[in-house]
A and B are shown apart, each in its own frame.
Chain A
Amino acid sequence: MRRGRIRFPFILACSVLILSAMPASAQDYPPSSSPKTDSKDFNGVWSPAGSSIPNNDITDHLLPGQEISFTPYGAQRYRTIDHSKDRTNTCGPAGYMRGMQTPLMPFQIVQSPAVVSINMEYMYQFRLIYTDGSSHPKDIADYPEWMGHSIGHWEGDALLVDAVGFQDKTWLDTNGLEHSDKLHMTERYQKTDPKTLRWTVTVDDPVFFTHPFTYAFDFKLQPTRVLSYDCGENEKDAAYMKPTLGGTHHNKKALKFPN
């Protein structure tokens, strides 16, 4: 597989932004996806492991004992979600959850001491995790973001991330799990070996769920590069979609509905 330079505008823009803020020593990170021995070096191209099906169903990734317990409002939304109105049908933002969880499309992490940038091929999205001691903006609830606002810090070789301030229009997965603008995501990134990055996510959204739940993906380092993606380039599906109601998760036992 050829390895090319990063050459797409948004990744380039992010990289310039990041590099300009980096001390010279941090710019020595290798540019591509060769395995890293540094357990705190997440640079590289990653994709979820172990799935040959283009699906990112969260119920397949819940940690043992975890369940998705809906509030009455969340249950009503789950039963009436219309997949033909999924914003990605018309190339709207997918959110970073679907961007990172989708096994078909890898993402590239570009890391500096001050910020970790996750550049997703899927829907050509990027996400910035500030690791410079920043706090969430005080006005983030008034100006929510498609990717939320993310701050992180290191505990040993684990990057811990706190994200709030989400738009309420993205989904947590392709199977129709919605969230509100009260969504609070807590994430842990940690290598379990040089080619595996474990991502453990706790979803807290009291509007949709009675209590938080936690799931995890293992991302594998990929011998590839992030390729160009334009969702609208040859979109021929949206015009023919029919109303398709209800969430489509595989593991129904993990879903708890109010009586």
Chain B
Amino acid sequence: MKRYLLGALLVVLFVAQLASAHHAANTKYDETKKATLKGTVTKVEWMNPHIYFYIDVKDASGKVTNWAIEGAPPNVLYRRGWGKDALKIGDVVTVEGFLPRQEGLHHLSGGNAVLADGRKIFAGSANGLPGSTDF
């Protein structure tokens, strides 16, 4: 786990809220384990109750691991103006979030992503928190 993360994790400078509309997110994720991953999008699942997208992350030794990134509910993203094609396969993104409580599980909660050109994806509210109702 640590080996994978060394090459991929960056210092996280934001304060984020675990993305969960319908249950306490800290049952799965650890609010003390903030992380940032950079990788290439391999798949997007635009589905309830939360979207997932997947990125290939390369560690310092060149080993590639596919991570599942859990985001906000698609209905919320839609109302913020983001559609299912906002994130495309092949995009290189940096995503911020929280690691799971279960060791070895390659999931990340959060879903706030920044494209290589600096455009923010799925960060619908000014403070970067998921769940804005300011349509």
**A interface residues (Cβ-Cβ under 8 A, vs B):** 1, 47-49, 51-55, 83-84, 86, 88-89, 94, 98, 102-106, 121-123, 174-176, 220, 222-224, 227-231, 233-237, 240-242, 244, 248
> What are the 3 A-B residue pairs with the smallest beta carbon separation, nearest first?
A234-B47, A54-B131, A241-B27
Interchain Cβ contacts under 8 Å between A and B, 30 examples: A47-B133, A49-B133, A52-B125, A52-B131, A54-B19, A54-B21, A54-B131, A55-B131, A83-B23, A83-B27, A89-B27, A94-B22, A102-B21, A106-B133, A122-B22, A174-B24, A220-B133, A227-B75, A233-B47, A233-B49, A234-B48, A234-B50, A236-B70, A237-B28, A240-B28, A240-B101, A240-B105, A242-B102, A244-B24, A248-B24
Chain A residues closer than 8 Å to B75, beta-carbon distance: 104-105, 121, 227-229
Chain B residues closer than 8 Å to A53, beta-carbon distance: 17, 129, 131
Q: Do B23 and A105 have beta carbons less than 8 Å apart?
A: no
Chain B residues closer than 8 Å to A88, beta-carbon distance: 22-23
B110 within 8 A of A: no
Q: Do A86 and B28 have beta carbons less than 8 Å apart?
A: no
| Distance between A84 CB and nearest chain B CB, rounded to angstroms | 5
Chain A residues closer than 8 Å to B27, beta-carbon distance: 83-84, 86, 89, 237, 241-242, 244
Chain B residues closer than 8 Å to A236, beta-carbon distance: 50, 52, 68, 70, 107
In whole angstroms, what is the CA distance A1 to B79 when docked? 8
At the interface, is chain A mostly helix, strand, loop or mixed? loop
At the interface, is chain B mostly helix, strand, loop or mixed? loop
A52-B134, A54-B131, A224-B79 as given contacts; A234 in contact with B52, CB under 8 Å: yes
Q: Do B73 and A240 have beta carbons less than 8 Å apart?
A: no
**Residue of B20, B23, B51, B132 with most partner-chain A CB within 10 A:** B23
| B76-118 near A? 1/0 per residue, CB < 8 Å | 1011000000000000000000001110010100000000000
Q: Do B48 and A222 have beta carbons less than 8 Å apart?
A: no
